[in-house]
Amino acid sequence: MNMLSVAWKLSFYQVWNRKRRWSTVAMFLLPVLLVLGIAMFARHPDTTEFYKGFVTNALGFFLIPFVAVFWGTAVLTDEIEGKTLVYLWTRPRHRGTLLLLKLMFMWVWLALLVFSGVAAGYLFAYSTNNAGGLLENLPVLLWDWRALTLAAIAYSSIGFLFSVLFRKPLTYAILLVYAWEVIPNVGPGFLKRISIRQQMLALVTHKEEPGRIAKTLMSDVVITEMQAIATLLVVAAVCCVATVFIAPQREFLSDDPARNQ
Amino acid sequence: MTEIQSPPPTNGAPVAQLQDASKWYGDVIGLNQVSLTIQPGITGLLGPNGAGKSTFLKLLTGQLKASRGQVRVYNLDPWSNPEVYRLMSYCPDSEQLYEEMTGREFVVMMARLSGFSAAEAARRADMQLERVSMAQHSTRLARGYSKGMRQRTRLAAALLHDPKLIVLDEPLNGLDPMGRLEMLEIFRQLAAEGRSVIVSSHILHEIQNLTRRMVMLHRGRVLAEGDIEEVRALIDRQPLTLKISSSRPRVAAGYLVGLESVTSVEFTPPAVPADDHSITVRSTAPDSVFEALQAAVVEEKIDVTSIEALDENLDAIFHYLTAQS
């Protein structure tokens, strides 16, 4: 209980401390503002089409992966940069486990962020078209929330692992998200199996038609729902376990005067 | 529920032992083949900035792994070993706290990390904050704290679980003179309670009144260790520096310059015109200086208002030792 209590406090602190507060609010508001903008300025929008692009691209490709790797790496890097890691490292607790618990509470914040984004798009899409009411389409909201949250958990776990491997983990994580993750879209089909984004796309309710993207090559790989869920969970689990083992074995010091002699 | 477990038995093991311990940061050496044993009580760790004090303490507290050699705290390997923290606590030199937490929230959180239940953590936090005179400020956010308040808060967090060994990295930094005295008193109390305390500082006189047992580091090596008297024995070959204040310093100097043991005599004007002038004398045989001064007092009727041995100050000893090395 003590570890959980501390981990929750630290995750809350990471997301809502004064330095981060406004960027967190902006992350929560961004999708809502985007939806409001479309609602106010677009004339006769195809709301179903909008929702599909909103979930898979605006949220699934841009916002959520970025926030996930950012918060995932920051579980450790915030403590290093804030020079507070020493307080966590010098108590009779397993270091890796404490970090893992903090990451798990970050998943709660990520799930809330995903929900606010998906819900904003959903409310817009299904309260204004003839595809049925909000209640009838509730599974759409829930399944898309699940898909994006699982992807966020996987991305944040990768960021978490990078934080114990690299000096600039966020840079590598962003390269992974915005460079590597683009390749499976245009590359051979088997690459889709090792792409978080493609696993997430296999779970969202509005899937892209095979071959619709002009540049897609060999897009015949079909990822089933169970495969996608299992893959995302396995990626997260492997990253977390590796980090829990690696973290206590690494030295995280940047300010020792003897280094600068 | 209190989750804290009993600390591992120490079975009379020395507080800390380093055997041939070295730490490299790439090409830079932080600590170089250090072998020493820390005994119970207060030990001062002395050395200028960059001497390797922080590296030494981080090795001792398991934040760094020795590149070579062995480090033991109560016979336990401290590297990445949470068990050691049932016996030991560490108060870092970093000023940073969780700036958006109150001092009390921080100390309670540290208590919970030490394994105490919410109620027990709060009780212990309040007790230690009271001890370091931070109780009245503990509900303020840490970002409004002065350096001294941060030091006190960190010390409160270090004392939460009644550690047998308390490692303090530059704990007097940022404290005003009154705060330093209070802090030194707390350290003495901790030693009187049977705890061992390791205090690092680059300001030697801070340690002088706290303990006679010290380890001096310079460029990653142990320059000297042991009692201050033992350290003094190392420098007996060096001239002793005496500051002599007199109403007639030139006459006094006349008696001293002819002595074989006196290597130099310098005149120092007084800070206040009304005060006596002083002379600074360096001698390899202080007894001969005292005899010559006695003769001057008797024969020339001069007043000698004070004789001060500057070398008793640790700064001077350190200076000698580093010059020797």
Q: Is the pLDDT of residue A60 over 70?
A: yes
- The pLDDT score that the predictor gives to residue A214 is 46
Q: Which of A91, A99, A164, A260 to mutate to test the interface with B (most CBs of B within 10 A)?
A: A91
* Range name among B68-72, B149-153, B214-218 with the lowest pLDDT average: B214-218
B:301-320 residues touching chain A, CB 8 A cutoff: none
CA dist A24 → A19, A65, A153, B99 (Å): 10, 15, 17, 18
**Selected residue with higher pLDDT from A156 and B214:** A156
Above 0.90 for ipTM, yes or no?
Answer: no
**Selected residue with higher pLDDT from A78 and B50:** A78
Average pLDDT over residues B226-249: 73
B:65-124 residues touching chain A, CB 8 A cutoff: 65, 80, 82-86, 89-90, 92, 94-101, 105-106, 109-110, 112-118, 121
Which chain A positions have a beta carbon within 8 Å of B48's beta carbon?
Answer: none
Q: Which of A256, A259, A260 to mutate to test the interface with B (most CBs of B within 10 A)?
A: A256
**Selected residue with higher pLDDT from B308 and A234:** A234
Angle, alpha carbons B34-B38-B39 (nearest 5°): 160
Identify the closest residue of chain B to A251 by CA–CA distance: B64
pLDDT tens digits, B54-110: 999 999 999 999 999 999 999 999 998 888 999 999 999 888 999 999 999 999 999
Contact B89 A82 (CB under 8 A): no
For A253, which of B49, B63, B113 is closest by C-beta distance?
B63
Identify the closest residue of chain A to B101 by CA–CA distance: A13
* A93 CB within 8 Å of a chain B CB: yes
Which chain B positions have a beta carbon within 8 Å of A81's beta carbon?
Answer: none
| Sign of the torsion formed by the C-alpha atoms of B58, B63, B65 and B70 | positive
Measured between alpha carbons, how far is A103 from A243 in angstroms, rounded to an integer? Answer: 11
Say how many residues make up chain B: 325
For B90, which of A2, A84, A90 is closest by C-beta distance?
A90
Which chain A positions have a beta carbon within 8 Å of B87's beta carbon?
Answer: none
Q: How confident is the model at residue A129 (pLDDT cuts 50, 70, 90)?
A: low
Q: How confident is the model at residue B10 (pLDDT cuts 50, 70, 90)?
A: low
Placement of tokens 């041939």 in the chain: B20
3 state SS for chain B: CCCCCCCCCCCCCCCEEEEEEEEEECCEEEEEEEEEEECCCEEEEECCCCCCHHHHHHHHCCCCCCCEEEEEECCECCCCCHHHHHCEEEECCCCCCCCCCEHHHHHHHHHHHCCCCHHHHHHHHHHHHHHCCCHHHCCCEHHHCCHHHHHHHHHHHHCCCCCCEEEEECCCCCCCHHHHHHHHHHHHHHHHCCCEEEEEECCHHHHHCCCCEEEEEECCEEEEEEEHHHHHHHCCCCCEEEEEEECCHHHHHHHHHCCCCEEEEEEECCCCCCCCEEEEEEECCHHHHHHHHHHHHHHHCCCEEEEEEHHHCHHHHHHHHHHHC
The whole-angstrom distance between A240's CA and the closest CA on chain B is 19
The whole-angstrom distance between A4's CA and the closest CA on chain B is 10
Q: How confident is the model at residue A1 (pLDDT cuts 50, 70, 90)?
A: confident
Contact B50 A257 (CB under 8 A): yes
- Sequence-separated contacts (24+) of B10-13 with Cβ below 8 Å: B10/B74, B10/B75, B10/B87, B10/B164, B11/B75, B13/B72, B13/B74, B13/B75
Measured between alpha carbons, how far is A122 from A29 in angstroms, rounded to an integer? Answer: 15
For A2, which of B3, B94, B106 is closest by C-beta distance?
B3
**Selected residue with higher pLDDT from A70 and A213:** A70
Measured between alpha carbons, how far is A89 from B74 in angstroms, rounded to an integer? Answer: 19
Q: At what angle do helices B103-113 and B147-158 cross, to 10 degrees?
A: 20
- The pLDDT score that the predictor gives to residue A245 is 94
Cα–Cα nearest to A86, from A245, A255, A261, A239: A255
Show the tokens assigned to B317: 């000893």
Identify the closest residue of chain B to A87 by CA–CA distance: B110
Q: B296, B251 in Cβ contact below 8 A?
A: yes
The whole-angstrom distance between B140's CA and the closest CA on chain A is 15
**Selected residue with higher pLDDT from B149 and A223:** B149
Percentage of chain B with pLDDT > 90? 44
The whole-angstrom distance between A173's CA and the closest CA on chain B is 26
Which chain A positions have a beta carbon within 8 Å of B55's beta carbon?
Answer: 256, 258
**Selected residue with higher pLDDT from B295 and B109:** B109
CA atoms within 13 A on the CB side of A111: 11
Contact B82 A91 (CB under 8 A): yes
**Selected residue with higher pLDDT from A107 and B93:** A107
Percentage of chain B with pLDDT > 70? 85
Which chain A positions have a beta carbon within 8 Å of B161's beta carbon?
Answer: 92
Contact B113 A9 (CB under 8 A): no
B:136-155 residues touching chain A, CB 8 A cutoff: 143
Contact A87 B157 (CB under 8 A): yes
Q: B158, B165 in Cβ contact below 8 A?
A: no
Measured between alpha carbons, how far is B102 from A47 in angstroms, rounded to an integer? Answer: 48
The whole-angstrom distance between B182's CA and the closest CA on chain A is 24
Q: B20, B35 in Cβ contact below 8 A?
A: yes
Indicate the residue type of B18.
Answer: L
Contact B3 A9 (CB under 8 A): no
Q: A49, A30 in Cβ contact below 8 A?
A: no
No. of H helices and E strands in chain A?
A: 11, 0
Identify the closest residue of chain B to A254 by CA–CA distance: B25
**Selected residue with higher pLDDT from B208 and A96:** A96
For B100, which of A2, A13, A249 is closest by C-beta distance?
A13
For A93, which of B29, B82, B105 is closest by C-beta distance?
B82
For B82, which of A92, A255, A256 is closest by C-beta distance?
A92
The pTM is what?
0.81
Angle, alpha carbons B284-B285-B289 (nearest 5°): 115
Measured between alpha carbons, how far is A165 from A143 in angstroms, rounded to an integer? Answer: 33
Question: Which strands, in side-by-side order, build the sheet including B240-246?
Answer: B262-268, B277-283, B240-246, B304-309
Average pLDDT over residues A100-125: 93
Average pLDDT over residues A183-201: 80
Q: A165, A105 in Cβ contact below 8 A?
A: no
